[in-house]
Every structure is written in structure tokens, then in C-alpha cells.
Structure 1
Amino acid sequence: MSPNDDLSRRGRLAAAGRRLYAGLRVVSAALAPGVRVLRHRHVRRAGWLLGLLAVTAVGMVVGVLIAGRVSADVGPFHARFAVTPALNGGTDVGIPPLGSLHLASHSGPAHLSVQLTALDQQRAKALVTNPAALEKASGGAVDDLRDGVLRLVFQVAGVSVLGAMVLTALLYRSVRRVAASGGLSLAILAGTAVVSVATFRPAAIEEPRYEGLLVNAPAVVGDARQIAGRYSAYRAELQRLVGNVGKLYDTISTLPVYEPDNSTIRVLHISDMHLNPAAWSVVRTVAQQFNVNLIIDTGDMTDWGSEPEASYVSSIASLKVPYVFVRGNHDSMNTQAAVARQPNAKVLDGGAVTIDGLTITGIGDPQFTPDKSSPNNAPGAAQDKGVQQEINAGQLLANSILEMQHAPDIALVHDPTAAMPLAGRVPLVLSGHLHQREVRRLANPGGTAPGTARTLLMVEGSTGGAGLRGLEGKEPLPLALSVLYFDAKKHTLQAYDDISVGGTGQTEVTLQRHLVKDDQTGDAAPTPSPSAS
């Protein structure tokens, strides 16, 4: 390279340097006002506060997410209360496995959730067997909720302040800033509380939004406030109703048309309890006063067949007599298993059992429709499918009867539709499902052999008064159950007593006795006798 070329290169570099320096001076002159503003003490303080506020908020959120929950008992339930950050506030109540309900209870950055995690079997048993315990629990549940929420508020306040201060200490390592972070977190908590209280809407409990199976809750339960008011009156009348059942037993001796003796087999038929805790007291009183040999339950003991509802069946053991059960369309396999675990219970689902000489067979309902959307109630093809399922179940039971060495005395189904294939195969079929009593002879499409009585179908009303739904009307549905009298030698039905326990405002118990004549020709029907009340 020549000396001239080297000088030329150096000149170009020098010129570029001068241009760069000039450009930097222009930029510096343009940024100078902004730099002076940033250097101002107020701006620096605002930036310091914003940074500290961001760290405090993040620390509070982390603390709440890690430890912002408490556990407490609410009535017979174990519940978990939790708060999570949210834009719209509100409250969720989770009831596994039924679903959840959402309440627009308040606005603000705190969302409350209550999860019912488990059911205490001992406390639940006390509720369904003791009206006094039910009253005490209904009043104590509100206190339990209040205590749980207060515990949650104090815990959330503590962990959020602690989270904010810990994160500030880790990032800044300054005692001054840690103290300031604690003050900021307390201010944020106070603001959240003010917003939540100011926007609290007590009426939100009347307008919940349901998810899961609880979507059907308004149709199933109806107006909760109306039911609650009616149940208070219903509970107040319960003891008098049960007492009247005992007094009614004394009037049986005045009925001359049929007098059972010591050898008579007495069977108590119940159905469709639907979780009514009052029903167990009535069943227990009738079983004791009428000295029944066994109890037959034709299903729908629960409403949803859920695991928490399984504790309702624990009262079976206290009845102290054999208990024969077939599954209804509101009972799940969990319900059936819970009944089978009772020491005095026998569950039939295609098999047979012999008790006090009576051979009983039965089959569970083929449908599980706890949301009340039974295909039997649907139009068109869906209805035909539901009916066919019931008929198929009845035919399956009829086929199993043909394989038995001796024909059974009683067959059990839940839906009376399933009884049709049993015509001519068994003398008596017991069912429920309709919540209304009905007694009739089944028509045998294949004809009845000479000298053979036509099959008698007895549909029981609702022993639970249709559960809570029975309290929706002006007069709650009466509790219905029947005592059946069988001849000890021939095992034939001789008579039966229909018992109705009146609802609110009807503090009476009525009994109607019916005789069952041998129906060799199919022309005779059960004959009513004088009633007592």
C-alpha cells in the first residue's frame, strides 16, 4: 500500500468520527430535557413506588395462591374455603359430584370458593334419624359458614402480607422497602375489603347459576325458600303424625273383615323415599306397631345416586328386620352397594331370596335418570326406547323365573312397565315409580292356564312424599306405605292395609283395608273394607 493510500484512509476515518460525534451531540441535546425530568426527585420517587407496588402485588398473589385456603365443618360436611385473585369477584359453591353453583355475590379482585369435600357419616346419620338434630344443624350451618369465612379472611390477610414482604426482601434487601411493602399490602387488603362490602349483593343467593347435574336443580327442587318454609311446618307436625300411626294400630281390631293371626306373614311395602329424613321415623313406627316380618323397598331411595347420599341408607340397620331392595331410576350402583352393605339388607338384581317362607325375586331398574329426563316421559322414539328397556328388564326377570325350581311368591320391579312380561309367571308384582297407588290385575297376552290366578300388580305411592319436591304444592304429598298379609302355608296374599300419613295441615293418618279374593277367573278385584283414621 502506498503512503498516499494510507493517508486517504485515515482521512476518511477521521471524517466519519467527526460525523458520529456531531450526531451524538444532537441526540444528547434532544434527550437532555427528558434526562433532567427523570433525575427529578419526584419522578424517581414515583418510579420507586411503582416498582415496589408491582413487587408487593406479585408477592400478595403468590402468598394467597400458596396458602389462601382453610378447612372447616359446615353441618355434616367437611368444606374447604379458598380465595383467589379475580377481576369480577363472585362466589362458587362446589358440590362434587353433582356440580357447582355460581353466585354474583360481590365485585372486586377476590373470588370466594367453597368446596364440600366429604360427608361425615355419623353426623349425617344423626340428622336423618333425629328431627332435633336436623333443626340444630340447620341453625348451626350458618354459623359454621360465617366462622369458616372469617378464618379464611384472617389467614388470607396474613399470608398475603407475608408473601409481599418476603418477595420484597429477596429483591431489594432493604428493611425500609420491606416495611413499605407491608404497608402497601395492608392498604390493598383494606381497599379490597371496602370494594367487596360495598358491592355485596345478598339477593344473589336467589339467582344462582348452576353447572353439572345441578343444572336441573331448579326443576328438581323448585323454590328453595318456599320448601324451607314448608319443611319447618312439616317437621313440627312430624311427631304427631308418627304418634297417630301407633294409635291407628289399635283400631285394626275393629275391622271384622280380616283378622291376621300369629302365623300370618306381614310385609311392609315402601317405595320412592327420595331422601326424605322424616320417612324413616314413619317406616320404623309402622314396622314396630304392625310387627312386620320384613320390609320390601321398590327403589328410588335417593335423588341423584351420589356418594354423599349413600349415608342416607344407614337407617336400614336400625329397622331390625330383613330389608329387600331393588334399584330405582334415581338410584345408582353406588346406592345399591350402600344398601347391600347393611347387615339386614338383601339386594335383588335378577336373583331371588327366601325370607320366612316367602320367595321373592326382583330386578333393578335398567335406567338411571336422576335428572328426571326419563325416556319414558320423552316424546317419540326416546319414549319407545325407554319403555322397551323396562320391558326387556321384565322379560329378563321372567326368563329367570322359568329357570327356578319353584315359582316365587313375589316379584319386584321399580317401574310398573317392567311388570308386563311377568303376567302369568308370578302371583304378585310390587313396584313404585308413579308416586301414586294403583292396584290392578295384569293382562296375560298368552292367556292364563285354568285354575291359575291372574297376576296382581300393586304400585306403591311415595313413602318419602316425593322428597323435597313433595313440599312444593299447597299441600305436601302424603307419605304412602302398605302392610301386606300373607297366608303362612300357601304364601298367598290375603289382605293389605294402605296407610297414608298426611302432610302439613293434615295431622292425621288414614288406613284403608282391602281383601284379596282368589281370582281364578280374572273377574274379581281387591275389595275395600271400612277405613279408620
Structure 2
Amino acid sequence: MAAVLAVAALTLTASLVGVAVTSVWPTEVSTSSYAATVRLSAEPDQLSTLHAPTLFGDLDLRFDGVVPAPGINAVAQVSDRITTVLATKDLSVGALKPTPAELDQVTSTVVSHVGGKFALGVLVTCLLVAFAIRHWRSRDAALRPWRRAVVIPALAAVLALGGTAGAAWTTFQPGRLEAVGTNGLLGYVRSNTRILADVEARSEQASPYVKNMLALSAALQDKFVPAELATPASVKVLLVSDIHGANAYPLMRQIIQTEGITAVVDTGDLINFGRVEEAEAGGLFTGIRSLGVPYLFVRGNHDATSPTDEALLQRMAQVPGVVVLQPAPRRYTIATVGGLRVGGFNDPRWFGDDGGGGATSQVPAAEAFTEAMDQLRAGTAVVSTPSSTSGATATPSGGTPAPTTPGTKSPTPTPSQSALAADSRRGLDLLVTHEPYAADRVGDAGIRLNGHMHSAGLQGNRIQVGTFTGGGVVSHYIQDKQGGELSGQPYAFDILSFGADCRLQTLTRYSYRDLLEGRPVYDDVRAINGAAIQAPAPSPGRACRADAPVTLQDVRAASPDEPAATSTP
């Protein structure tokens, strides 16, 4: 056991020394327009990450390796010729981007030089330890033979070199890309575009020096991002939550139009005090109606004044385009939007309750929903077409949709009936809840959504949506523990991008701040590989398309003595 611990300790030490050597003796690489200083990093937040800090913000490509690999820190600079290039009329990102051949040459140089320096640090460390083992003895004892002194250092060297090389090789592959993140000015410039495309068009709004950084970030993404993630999305779903009475719908409408949103999912807490009058006074219903795309909604704990209060649900059901996913107790609406099956249930809590119960307060609601879905799959649920909610077709540009008849089957293109039936038996594509404890109680969904916490999060296939309005006007400001100046909560929204096969391509997460203060600043824009989130993935043959009509299905769990309906989705 002592020998095993010694090998493990020396392996870790030698690896850290190797990383340190690459840091104090960095590798310089260059292309025709750029130069970069490359180091390895052992900082915990940079493991398995390609980190490229620039004057205008940072670009982070995070990979999901089987074993964590040292991070790569590449500090980019422009070459001397850039001053001539920047003076060129009609400068484009394409003229600044390194060519694939240049990137291949840079990659080869980084592997050989950085790898060589890392190996040098490891080998020197292990040789010094072997020398110390041979000579560490009492005064009258003989020197240890080299064959015994080098056993532990040799094993440690093999593990440090082989393990690090293997981890790096398996981690920094396009198929392992987990997330793409930008911040600062670089994030701001790219905040209203697809994170993996449209760089050329967006750069027209930037100065030549920002184009410089956009070109470099685009080239890095071209090198490492899987091709399927750069494919235009067929369906895009905007995720919002915890609006809390603040009418930010003009901003939401702009996002819908700019990003080509198919539908909006709101995970609840539309208001603060549970009264419809608050939403009427704030113009929230008018704002929702102006969006022009389906608006799927579940109630949060601030959206009612008692456990039986359904006033907001009834008022929301009157707004064109709104789909209330649980319009009444034990009654649910399954919406098919763009080919995706979406369902969910309300928070059983209300404004003014004692806040007790925690996760246990969500159990009855989650169990009732699960029972209804089980009966739906078994063909024993009471199923009918709802009449209180209008369906709508979302246009790719986010424009005003044309009304359709609820409950009708979509015209061409129709998803494969066998694939859709198979996925329907497994569960929903999107499950919508308000509290995370509720989402954790239901596992039959490819993607689970919740809000409530006013902060973005991701755990497996559960996406926690931050507050779209910074907590609303009433609860926007937070007092710090030292009693200093009030600070605003971060604003956040997410966009789910689905391919034509209904597979999640990316989850793009946006956060910004200081909107109420009049100083809007984008903190972060991050694109996460959807393959790491959606589980299970849709069956082969599924088809998703933004302009498919919305279809609605009303589902109610049947009591034991009630005859079951036989209609199916």
C-alpha cells in the first residue's frame, strides 16, 4: 500500500511540475495574422478547457473527457502585419481567420513543443527522486542499487506521461465539446447571434479590432466544434422564468424576432402577490399576446393566493397563443410544438403560505402528474381536445403566427408514427415545472425544466432557468451581508436549439445585468452541447419543424370506477 501511495503521489507531483515547466517556459506559435503564447494549466476551473483570453473578452471551449486533462491557456496577440490588414477597405472576418492549414501547423507545434516541455519536467522530477532514493541511507549503509531506486520513479513517469497524453488526446476532440463560452465585449458582440455561426454578419457592427478577436474565436470553433452543432436549428425554444410582474415583453419580443424562436416556455412566477390585477396593471397579458408565438406556462408559487386559486390560470387561458399546461387539478395539456411533446404541472404552493415542506410539498403534484402520464401511455386516461386555448403556428422568423385548429393533426411533414409512438411511451420531450424538487420527482422526459431559484443551473437533463427580469421590480435588489449598496440580481434566459431529427443541438445560456439601472451589460454567453443533456435521445425517424401546427391534447387521470377513453396522441 505504501508503494502504491508513493507512486500516486509522485505521479501527481511530476505532472504538476511538468505543467509548471510549460508555464514558465511557454511555447510561442503564430499564423500570418496572429501569435499566441501557449501554456498548460492545472487550475481546477480550467481543466479540460481551451481558454483564450483577449482584450475584448474570453473564449472558453470546455470539453467533457473521460479523465480530466490539463487545460490549455492560449494568450493571443496580433502579428505585425495586422496594421496593414486592418487598413484594408471592406475588411472581413474571412480575411482575418487563420486557414485550416495554419491551424493544423499550430496544433502540431503545440503538441510537440508543449508536450516536450511537459515531458522534460516529468522526467527531471522522477530522475531527481530516483537519485534521492538511491542516496537516502544511513551513514554506514551501502547505496541502493539503481534497479531498486528507479522502480517507483519509472512507474510514476510512465503514468504521468501516458495518463496525461491519453487524457489530452481523448478530451480535446470535436465530439467531446461540452460548452462554448464567451464574456466581456466578445460575448456582447456575439450575444444576439447563434454562437456557432453568423460571425461574418455580426462583425459588421464591430470595429476592426473586435473583428480581429471574432475571427480568432471563429477559427478555434471551426477547429474543435462538431459539424452537426453548426447546422441551423429547425426548432428553437426560448426558456424564461420568474418574471415577477416586470413587463419585459418588448425585450422578449426582440429576442424572438432576432433568434427565430418557435415557442416560449415560462416555468412560472409570472407575478409577485398571486393576484391577476397585478398582471393586468403591468400589461403582462398584452405583452404575451404581442409575442406572436406559442407561450407554454405552468404556475409558480407566486401565481396564486391559495391552494385552490385558479384565477391566473383562467386569465392566461384567455390570452391568444397561451397554452396552460395544467389548467385544473389532475388535468393536463400535452402540447406538440414543432414536433416536440411538452407537458408539465403547477407548483402546489401559493403566495403567503408558510413555505414549509420543502421538497415534500411537491410530492403530491408530481405523483398526480406521473399517474396521469402512466394512464395516458396505458390508454386508460380520459383524453379530449381542449377548447379554451388557441393553437398557433410559429414562423421561423418569429413573426405573427397564423391560427390553427387545436387538436388537429399536423400536415406534412409528419413525424414518423412509429418513432413518435415509441417516444410517447417513454415520456415527454420537455417536462415543465416550477421548482427543482418537482422536476426531480419525474424522470420520464428527455429534458426537464424548472425555475424558482433565480439562478441558472444544469444537472443531468434538468435545466434550471434563471430569472428573466432579475427577480422583477419588487425583489430585484439584494442587500449584501456587510450592508453595502444594493446590487441587482442577474437576468438570464436560455435557448434550446433542436435539429430536424428532434435532437437537442445546443443549450445557449445568456446572462446580463444592470438593465433596470440603465447600464445593461452581458456577463456571459455559453453554448452547451445538447448531446450531453438530452436523455434519452429521440428515436430515429422523428421529425421537428418550426412551422408545424401546434396540437393540443387534454389529459385527465381516470378514477378507478371511471371508464377510460381510447383516444391516443
Range class of TM-score, shorter chain: 0.3 to 0.5
By relative contact order (CA 8 Å, sep 6+), the higher-ranking structure is 2
Structure-2-length-normalised TM-score: 0.42
Higher Cα radius of gyration: 1
Structure with a larger share of its residues in helix: 1
Structure-1-length-normalised TM-score: 0.44
